[in-house]
Amino acid sequence: MGKCNFNPQWLNTTDANGFKVSDWGRNNGSEGEMFCNICQKAVNIECGHGAVQQHAAGANHKKLCSTILATSQKRLQPNSSSNVTCFNPRDAAAKAEILWVIKMVNEDWSFSSATDGIKDLFSVMFGEIPKGFSLSNTKAHYIVTDALGPYFKKKHAGRFRYPVLRIRLR
């Protein structure tokens, strides 16, 4: 039986802990090995993709992943202007939910018609949506009344009686 080399498609798979392999692993250029960014060590992959999954199932790797890759953990992410920003995956989901709710309000769509199956639709349209994104009729209502409502009421206090929500999405 021959040795197995790194296959870039492995990075698109999900490990037993629910994390994408690309979140923690990368090709280190060495035949028969990949590098685990979480454990900071080379992983022998001569036995194929099973070795990647076996490494992910290790107690030390699981413990480190639950701390480092947790959705509340902030991460550094490069942006278009060659700077690095601090990014929280949970913030990305909340931002996507809020922007969609603002669009719903702007277009005068009903909550149920604009939220039913939206996660599945976005997943098909965009491939990967932020982890933690979920939007139901009830959640959309909450975002408008309890999250956005007080903000706009305070911002527009005394200017006009019924503030109109007009926000340009970029």
List the chain domain ranges: 8-68, 73-170
Q: Which two tokens stand for residue 163?
A: 């503030």
What percent of the chain shows pLDDT beyond 70? Answer: 77
pLDDT, tens digit (0-9, with 9 covering 90-100), for 129-141: 887 788 888 888 8
pLDDT, tens digit (0-9, with 9 covering 90-100), for 66-110: 777 765 555 555 555 556 565 566 677 888 888 888 888 888 888
Can you tell me whether residue 13 is helix, strand or coil?
Answer: coil
Residue 98 burial (10 A CB sphere; 0-12, 13-18, 19+): middle
> Is 150 a residue whose pLDDT tops 80?
no
pLDDT bracket for residue 57 (50, 70, 90)? very high
Q: Which residues pair with 75 in a beta bridge?
A: 87
